[in-house]
């Protein structure tokens, strides 16, 4: 078995401001992207069919996308080609046409209908409120649990800020890359809360509750935490590529968001969280 070794970082070469500057700058840019998106569209991230309602047809045809688009009386919101099986996923907004009409138009054009998924606008709106409410409740519950565990402000807020950044950065990248908010991406955001808290609590426990020098404890935590996170990133990359090739949009969306979030977690845990803990250990406690 090949043992993965994390290179030891010499944190003494960097000041707290230098270490915190990068993750805080990335977080600020992400918040600006989300804020700008909200001003421009009225939503911090584009909701998908799961939340807005609509119809999604999966059809098999050799025709180019222009012919697929022209086959329908209603202009599709999006047409996505699935290279693995030669199909197209055609999405229509809610209220643009009935599912029966769309099926009839596809059959009249000679397309083979593989599957049909339809969500009503009212059901999608209710689902959106429930899903986003679940994220907020999960984040609030995590924050309360962390404060109950450490009972000290700085170590606790370090975990909460890192988890917040781990969610905000992927959401901003979703806007930039055109990934819509769906049940899959909401599930990925919920998973990121767990991943983030796991690595941050591991770091806090090693530094605050175990014997040894601050930097020695940090390195021990990194050996486990970085290995765990990099393994998860590698698995998510493989899943994303495979799901994209086979047109499994749900898994592809989950994998993409998790890759972004886990990468952000490495930065936030071992730069921002370490900075706050170092300040707390060497300056905050002394005061």
Top mean pLDDT of 129-143, 196-210, 225-239 is at 225-239
- The answer to whether 91 and 49 have CB atoms below 8 angstroms apart is yes
| Both tokens assigned to 55 | 């119809």
Q: pLDDT at residue 25 above 90?
A: yes
CATH number of the domain encompassing residue 252: 1.20.1640.10
In a domain, 125, yes or no: no
CATH number of the domain encompassing residue 98: 3.30.70.100
Lowest mean pLDDT among 36-40, 206-210, 223-227: 206-210
Say yes or no: 81 and 58 in one domain. yes
Please tell me the number of Cα atoms within 13 Å of 214 on its side-chain side: 12
For residues 105 and 108, give the distance between their C-alpha atoms in angstroms, rounded to a whole number.
5
In a domain, 130, yes or no: no
Q: How many helices (H) and strands (E) does the chain have?
A: 10, 4
Say yes or no: 111 and 141 in one domain. no
Say yes or no: 88 and 219 in one domain. no
Full-model pTM: 0.83
Say yes or no: 109 and 226 in one domain. no
In a domain, 107, yes or no: yes
CA 134 remoteness from chain centre: 15
For residues 38 and 32, give the distance between their C-alpha atoms in angstroms, rounded to a whole number.
10
In a domain, 4, yes or no: no
Condensed to tens digits (0 to 9), the pLDDT of residues 253-267 reads: 899 999 999 999 999
* Pairing mode of beta strands 78-82, 87-93: antiparallel
In a domain, 196, yes or no: yes
- The answer to whether 82 and 247 have CB atoms below 8 angstroms apart is yes
| Both tokens assigned to 177 | 């890359």
Q: pLDDT at residue 147 above 80?
A: yes
Say yes or no: 181 and 222 in one domain. yes
Say yes or no: 159 and 219 in one domain. yes
Say yes or no: 57 and 177 in one domain. no
Q: How confident is the model at residue 123 (pLDDT cuts 50, 70, 90)?
A: low
- The answer to whether 44 and 34 have CB atoms below 8 angstroms apart is yes
- Looking at every residue in the chain, the average pLDDT score rounds to 86
Q: pLDDT at residue 50 above 80?
A: no
Say yes or no: 165 and 258 in one domain. yes
Dmax (CA) of the chain: 77
DSSP-based three-state secondary structure for 84: coil
Condensed to tens digits (0 to 9), the pLDDT of residues 168-190 reads: 999 999 999 888 888 889 999 99
CA 95 vs CA 2, 53, 121, 206, 235: distances in Å: 56, 8, 8, 55, 39
Q: What is the pLDDT of residue 1?
A: 36
Non-local CB neighbours of 16 within 8 Å, separated by 6+ positions: 275, 278, 279
- From the list 90, 102, 20, 19, the residue with the least C-alpha distance to 61 is 90
Indicate the residue among 118, 148, 168 that finishes a domain.
118
Say yes or no: 159 and 226 in one domain. yes
For residues 282 and 88, give the distance between their C-alpha atoms in angstroms, rounded to a whole number.
59
Q: How confident is the model at residue 85 (pLDDT cuts 50, 70, 90)?
A: low
Domain count within the chain: 2
Say yes or no: 179 and 276 in one domain. yes
In a domain, 191, yes or no: yes
Indicate the residue among 90, 118, 146 that finishes a domain.
118
Name the residue range of residue 67's domain.
53-118
Say yes or no: 30 and 142 in one domain. yes
Q: Which of the two residues, 244 and 85, has the higher pLDDT score? A: 244
In a domain, 14, yes or no: yes
Q: What is the pLDDT of residue 256?
A: 94
Q: pLDDT at residue 8 above 80?
A: no
Say yes or no: 78 and 198 in one domain. no
For residues 112 and 174, give the distance between their C-alpha atoms in angstroms, rounded to a whole number.
32
- The answer to whether 269 and 227 have CB atoms below 8 angstroms apart is no
- The CA-to-CA distance between both ends of the chain, in Å, stands at 47
């Amino acid at each position: 078995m090949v043992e993965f070794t994390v290179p030891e970082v010499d944190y003494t070469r960097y000041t707290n401001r230098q270490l915190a500057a990068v993750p805080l700058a990335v977080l600020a840019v992400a918040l600006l992207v989300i804020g700008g998106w909200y001003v421009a569209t009225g939503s911090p991230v584009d909701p998908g069919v799961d939340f807005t309602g609509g119809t999604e047809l999966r059809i098999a045809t050799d025709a180019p996308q222009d012919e697929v688009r022209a086959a329908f009386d209603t202009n599709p919101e999006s047409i996505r080609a699935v290279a693995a099986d030669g199909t197209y996923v055609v999405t229509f907004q809610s209220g643009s046409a009935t599912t029966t009409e769309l099926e009839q138009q596809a059959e009249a054009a000679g397309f083979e209908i593989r599957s049909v998924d339809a969500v009503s606008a009212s059901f999608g709106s209710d689902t959106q409120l429930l899903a986003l409410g679940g994220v907020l409740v999960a984040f609030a519950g995590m924050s309360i649990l962390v404060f109950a565990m450490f009972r000290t402000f700085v170590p606790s807020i370090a975990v909460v800020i890192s988890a917040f950044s781990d969610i905000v950065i992927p959401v901003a990248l979703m806007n930039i890359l055109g990934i819509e908010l769906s049940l899959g991406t909401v599930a990925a955001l919920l998973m990121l809360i767990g991943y983030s808290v796991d690595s941050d609590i591991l770091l806090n426990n090693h530094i605050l509750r175990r014997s040894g020098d601050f930097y020695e404890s940090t390195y021990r935590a990194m050996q486990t935490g970085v290995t765990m996170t990099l393994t998860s990133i590698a698995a998510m990359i493989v899943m994303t590529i495979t799901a994209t090739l086979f047109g499994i949009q749900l898994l592809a969306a989950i994998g993409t968001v998790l890759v972004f979030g886990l990468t952000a977690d490495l930065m936030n845990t071992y730069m921002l969280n370490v900075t706050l803990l170092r300040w707390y250990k060497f300056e905050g406690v002394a005061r």
